[in-house]
Amino acid sequence: MRENMTKFRDATKRLLEVKKKLLMAKMEGVAAAAAEVDDKAAGEEGEEEEEEEEGAGEWEGGEEDEEEDVEVEEIEE
């Protein structure tokens, strides 16, 4: 009986160690995925800021207005 209790206790310890290792691996994977998402989000925010900066001067220069006027004139003729 004592031998069975010892085997059970040892098996339980091994099981807990395996669970701990799996949990640690899962946490590392989640942390890596979160870092990847943060990197992507930071990159997208940078792209949006660049687009806003690029788009800010288009209307001031009137380049697009001229193109639209040409298209309108072509349609009216």
pLDDT tens-digit readout, 3-14: 999 999 999 999
Domains: count for the chain: 1
Q: Is the pLDDT of residue 28 over 60?
A: yes
Q: What is the pTM of this model?
A: 0.46
**Which residues span the domain enclosing 46?**
2-76
Q: Which of 46, 47, 66 is nearest to 58 (CA)?
A: 66
Residues sharing a CB contact under 8 Å with residue 58, sequence separation 6 or more, in sequence order: 64
